[in-house]
């Protein structure tokens, strides 16, 4: 909206109030010069997810700004955001809202079936019928629906040494961003280690406990579940790997070994794949996982 339109609206409102002959006042634009330089494209607002905003130093009156810059370079925590009186600065607040929105989006959105088909991943589903039910009924995400069980029985290799499952969990981004850098290297690493690898597939609306039922259905020795973690502010791409040796109906969470924080800013996906291969070899050698692997 340009200045003339603003003045026309103001004049219309004042006329309705009985005010006439009001001299238009100049519209004052409040602009943060530092931030305006970051986005020269006047057709759209700058992307608050860009690195220049994530590392934006909002403390304008620091005694030594290099100290703040050094602190910010060593952490992704929200430091150096500055304030205006008791309130956060506008850029810091907008960044917070943008990151919060992104975190909510990655929980709510679904992995497209077309994306899975392009990567030749069989799709099965838990007992949750949609994302809303998945979020409100965690118990349904821990069990496979009847169609899913049938698809696994008909399409997956029986009794492999290692079974790999990919699941959206609580993060769409964790699956779509990390897939190409973790699943192919992981499968190749397992095969190069001389291990018999089962048919990888995708579990929609899955919870960690679902890997127990999958393991029992297929008779796999080691079961690996790559699943999206609950996102944090500004970090929605984190993946976890839950590994368990020969799960049963009596399996508990301490029986699992977990490698978490897999993403470009944490444990790189390719590096995580190598770590998981070594973990699988250890589990097969010791025939254990979780706390039993430490004994």
In this structure, are strands 257-262 and 239-245 parallel, antiparallel, or unpaired? antiparallel
Q: Please indicate, yes or no, if residue 30 is contained in any of the structural domains.
A: no
Task: Give me the chain's average pLDDT, please.
Answer: 88
Domain end marker among 59, 81, 108: 108
Q: Specify the CATH number for the domain of residue 208.
A: 3.40.50.11240
Q: Please indicate, yes or no, if residue 29 is contained in any of the structural domains.
A: no
Mark whether 92 and 229 lie in a shared domain. no
Q: Is the pLDDT of residue 29 over 60?
A: no
Range of the domain at 173: 113-293
Summarised one tens digit per residue, pLDDT across range 56-110 is: 888 888 888 889 889 988 887 888 888 888 899 988 898 888 888 888 999 999 9
181 annotated binding-site participant: no
Q: Is the pLDDT of residue 50 over 90?
A: no
Q: Is the pLDDT of residue 134 over 80?
A: yes
Q: Is the pLDDT of residue 140 over 60?
A: yes
Mark whether 148 and 203 lie in a shared domain. yes
Mark whether 89 and 225 lie in a shared domain. no
Mark whether 206 and 94 lie in a shared domain. no
Mark whether 91 and 144 lie in a shared domain. no
Neighbours of 188 (CB within 10 A): 13
Mark whether 103 and 119 lie in a shared domain. no
Mark whether 54 and 141 lie in a shared domain. no
67 annotated binding-site participant: no
Distances (CA, A) of 100 to 22, 93, 222, 232: 43, 11, 36, 8
Mark whether 167 and 200 lie in a shared domain. yes
Mark whether 169 and 287 lie in a shared domain. yes
pLDDT tier, 6 (very low <50, low <70, confident <90, very high otherwise):
confident
Mark whether 100 and 121 lie in a shared domain. no
Summarised one tens digit per residue, pLDDT across range 158-185 is: 999 999 999 999 999 999 999 999 999 9
Q: Specify the CATH number for the domain of residue 71.
A: 1.10.30.40
Q: Is the pLDDT of residue 1 over 60?
A: no
Q: 12 versus 284: which is more confidently predicted?
A: 284
Mark whether 250 and 202 lie in a shared domain. yes
Summarised one tens digit per residue, pLDDT across range 87-101 is: 999 888 988 888 888
Average pLDDT value for residue range 191-218: 97
pLDDT tier, 25 (very low <50, low <70, confident <90, very high otherwise):
low
Average pLDDT value for residue range 189-204: 97
d(CA 72, CA 207): 35
Q: Please indicate, yes or no, if residue 285 is contained in any of the structural domains.
A: yes
pLDDT tier, 146 (very low <50, low <70, confident <90, very high otherwise):
very high
Average pLDDT value for residue range 272-278: 97
Domain end marker among 75, 108, 141: 108
Cβ proximity of 203 and 223 under 8 Å: no
CA 175 to chain CA centroid, nearest Å: 8
The count of structural domains within the chain is: 2
Average pLDDT value for residue range 222-244: 93
Burial (0-12, 13-18, 19+ Cβ within 10 Å), 84: exposed
Average pLDDT value for residue range 112-133: 96
Residue 7's pLDDT is what? 74
Mark whether 82 and 141 lie in a shared domain. no
Question: Which one, of 83, 54, 82, 85, lies nearest residue 68 by Cα?
Answer: 82
Q: Please indicate, yes or no, if residue 223 is contained in any of the structural domains.
A: yes
d(CA 226, CA 208): 9
């Amino acid at each position: 909206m340009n200045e003339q339109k603003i003045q026309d609206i103001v004049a219309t409102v004042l006329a309705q109030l009985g005010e006439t002959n009001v001299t238009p006042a100049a519209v004052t634009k409040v602009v943060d010069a530092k931030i305006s330089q970051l986005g020269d494209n006047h057709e759209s607002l700058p992307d608050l997810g860009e690195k220049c905003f994530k590392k934006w130093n909002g403390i304008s009156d620091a005694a030594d700004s290099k100290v703040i810059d050094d602190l910010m370079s060593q952490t992704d925590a929200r430091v150096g955001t500055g304030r205006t009186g008791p309130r956060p600065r506008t850029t810091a607040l907008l960044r917070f809202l943008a990151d919060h929105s992104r975190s909510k989006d990655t929980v709510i959105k679904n992995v497209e079936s077309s994306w899975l088909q392009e990567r030749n991943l069989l799709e099965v589903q838990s007992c949750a019928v949609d994302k809303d039910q998945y979020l409100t009924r965690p118990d349904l995400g821990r069990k496979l629906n009847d169609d899913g069980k049938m698809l696994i029985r008909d399409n997956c290799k029986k009794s492999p040494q290692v079974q790999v499952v990919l699941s959206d969990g609580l993060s769409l981004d964790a699956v779509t961003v990390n897939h190409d850098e973790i699943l192919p290297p992981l499968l190749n690493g397992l095969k190069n280690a001389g291990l018999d690898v089962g048919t990888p597939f995708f579990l929609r609306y899955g919870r960690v406990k679902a890997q127990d039922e999958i393991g029992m259905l297929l008779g796999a020795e080691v079961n690996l579940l790559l699943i999206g973690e609950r996102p944090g502010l500004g970090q929605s791409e984190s993946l976890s790997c839950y590994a368990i040796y020969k799960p049963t109906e009596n399996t508990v969470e301490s029986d699992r070994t977990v490698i978490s924080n897999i993403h470009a800013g944490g444990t790189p996906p390719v590096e995580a794949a190598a770590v998981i291969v070594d973990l699988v070899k250890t589990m097969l050698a010791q025939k254990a996982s979780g706390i039993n692997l430490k004994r």
